[in-house]
Each structure stands twice: as C-alpha cells, then as structure tokens.
C-alpha cells in the first residue's frame, strides 16, 4: 500500500505540475519528426514508423506511450510531408496528439541540405476523475472529456548522409488544462530541442555514431541525452545512452530487409525510482518504400 501511495504521488505530481513536458523517447533519432517537423522527407523515402514504450515497469499507472508516424518527400519539389499520432497514458490522464508536418529543403553544399519545417497539432486530453478520489468533489474536474487544444511548432534541420544538427520548438502555445484561482496546475510548457549527431567510418564494416539531444523546459531541469551506436556490416546496431541524472539505456537494432528495420531499447533508472520499478522498455518498427534508386544508398542511424 505504501508503494502504491508513493507511486501515485510521484505520477500525479509529474502530470499535474506546472512543468509538464512532452513524451520522451530513448530512440528519438529514428523518429525525429515527433520533435522536429523539418525532418519530414529527409530520408528520401516514404518512411512508416511505429513505437511502443512502457516506462517504469511494475509501477501502477506508470507512463505507457504509443507513437505512429509517416513522412515522405513530395516528388518533383523540395517539400516534405509528415503525419504523426502519439497516445500517452500516465496515471489518471490520457492524451492523444495528432500532428501534421510540412518541410522545405534547400541544398547548402554538395553534401549538406538545410530543411525548414512547421507543425500543426491537435491535442485531446482526458482525466479519469474516478481514479483521483478527491475528498471534496470539484465540478471543474469533470470538464476533461476529450478537452481539445490546438498548437503550432517549427524547426530547422541541417543534414547530410553522415551528420545532422537541428533545433525545434514543437509547441509554441502554452496550453492550460486546469486553472484554480488563475493558477494553472496542469500546463503544457514550451519544449525546446537541440539535436546533433555524426557517423564515423571506423573501417569497411564498422561505423560509429555519437549523438546528443538537449531538451529545455522552463520550470524543469535541463535534460541531456548522450548516446553512442555502432553499426556492423550495415545490418546490426548496438549502443548505449545516458540521460543525465535520470537513466542509463541499452539499444539494439537490426536491418531485417532493405526496407524493414526493428529496434529495442531498455532504460535502467538511475534515480530513487529504481527502487520501485524494473526499468523501461521501448520497441519500434520502421518500414520504408520508394527509396531513391530503389536501394539504400547509405546506411542511416537517423
């Protein structure tokens, strides 16, 4: 019972705090469109992606996230188009986020391209009041059945086949979900993302890619993810990642066929929450169609 009470306190504090953040992904580098709309179409293929993440396994009400996305270049011009859906469950809350992305790419050199992107988002938020059991019923808590809030975002993405750097703000509008005497106790804050990575050819069969993601949110600690992945024979990927003061992660991936890639990640908590859960699991599939020249010209970690 004490563990259950502690869990609910931790979860609801994170959900109902003034520093609400976007859903997090350990393997964000394979689905960058969720955080940067300029990524849309950058792979030169119709890319279909699906991910399932179960966080803090063993804790009742812990976050469970499902994400599906599609992005593609539009033939005959420099435009890219993307659509994504994220379903996020945390304790008594349930969110569905639907986004559409549009990008425009210009060559900056023989190897690099610069992409600009915009994102339009619709968010549907539900609060299951029956799981709160408040001492005094608050009628305003019953107004959260598919509560709708729109948003807009933007990003830039400089990339080649070996390197990338990007900056994005997926949501410019701070959405207040619940106000009590003009104080928002549930508020979606603006999230700023900075990402970068580079692929080193160690020899003919081994490649190494270090990468970093920094997320900045007003009212929350700076979050930095540092990772390193090795690719063997353009087929098998293995790597480690560290989320500063939060988690240590292991990642593996396999190029099953020319179009199909599957990946798995495991997070081991490095905070006191480690005493109450058995880690977090993340699995994804990516399938690509209509690649330029009908083949993968270079293996990509991103």
CATH of 1-9+25-291, one of 3.30.1490.20, 3.10.180.10, 1.20.1250.20, 2.40.160.40: 2.40.160.40
Domains of the chain, by residue range, sit at 1-9+25-291
Task: Say yes or no to pLDDT of 14 above 50.
Answer: no
* Average pLDDT of the residues in 19-31: 78
User: In this predicted structure, what is the pLDDT of residue 273?
Assistant: 80
Going by C-alpha positions, the residue among 35, 52, 298 that lies closest to residue 191 is 35
Residue 34: how many CB atoms within 10 A of its CB? 25
Q: Is the pLDDT of residue 6 over 70?
A: no
Return the pLDDT at 144. Answer: 64
Tell me how far apart the terminal alpha carbons of the chain are, to the nearest angstrom: 43
pLDDT over 90, % of the chain? 57
Span 34-83, pLDDT tens digits: 999 999 999 989 999 999 999 999 888 889 999 999 999 997 789 999 99
- Looking at residue 290, its pLDDT comes to 67
Query: 143 or 53: which carries more pLDDT confidence?
Result: 53
Residue-wise burial string across 182-217, b where 16 or more C-beta atoms lie within 10 A, e elsewhere: eebebbbbebebebebebeeeeeeebebebebbbeb
Rg from Cα positions in the chain: 20
Mean pLDDT of the chain: 84
Supply 71's token pair. Answer: 């992005």
Q: Find residue 207's DSSP bridge partners.
A: 201, 231
- More confidently predicted of 7 and 190: 190
Q: How far is 297 from 111, CA to CA, in rounded Å?
A: 14
Q: To the nearest 10°, the Cα dihedral for 254, 113, 83, 77?
A: -120
Residue 151: per-residue pLDDT: 95
- Per-residue model confidence (pLDDT) at position 91: 84
- Number of Cβ atoms within 10 Å of the Cβ of 4: 12
Average confidence (pLDDT) over 247-268: 95
User: pLDDT at position 219, please?
Assistant: 74
Kindly indicate the confidence band of residue 186, based on its pLDDT and cuts at 50, 70 and 90.
low
């Amino acid at each position: 019972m004490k563990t259950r009470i502690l869990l609910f306190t931790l979860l609801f504090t994170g959900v109902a705090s003034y520093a609400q953040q976007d859903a997090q992904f350990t393997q964000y580098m394979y689905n960058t469109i969720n955080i940067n709309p300029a990524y849309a179409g950058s792979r030169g293929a119709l890319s279909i992606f699906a991910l399932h993440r179960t966080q803090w396994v063993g804790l009742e009400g812990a976050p469970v996230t499902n994400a599906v996305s599609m992005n593609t270049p539009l033939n005959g011009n420099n435009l890219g188009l993307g659509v994504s859906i994220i379903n996020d469950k945390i304790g008594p809350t349930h969110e569905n986020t639907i986004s559409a992305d549009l990008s425009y790419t210009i060559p900056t050199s023989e190897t690099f391209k610069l992409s600009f992107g915009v994102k339009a988002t619709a968010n549907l938020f539900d609060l299951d009041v029956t799981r709160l059991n408040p001492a005094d019923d608050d009628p305003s808590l019953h107004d959260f059945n598919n509560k709708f809030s729109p948003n807009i975002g933007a990003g830039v993405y400089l990339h080649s086949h070996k390197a990338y750097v990007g900056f994005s703000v997926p949501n410019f509008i701070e959405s207040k979900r619940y106000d009590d005497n003009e104080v928002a106790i549930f508020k979606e804050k603006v999230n700023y993302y900075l990402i970068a990575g580079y692929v080193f050819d160690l020899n003919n069969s081994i490649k190494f890619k270090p990468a970093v993601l920094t997320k900045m949110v007003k009212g929350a600690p700076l979050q930095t993810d540092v990772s390193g992945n090795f690719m063997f024979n353009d087929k098998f990927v293995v790597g480690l990642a560290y989320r500063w003061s939060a988690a240590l992660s292991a990642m593996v991936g396999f190029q099953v066929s020319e179009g199909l890639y599957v990946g798995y990640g495991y997070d081991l908590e490095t905070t006191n929450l480690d005493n109450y859960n058995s880690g977090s699991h993340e699995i994804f599939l990516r399938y690509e169609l209509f690649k330029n020249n009908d083949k993968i010209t270079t293996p990509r970690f991103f």
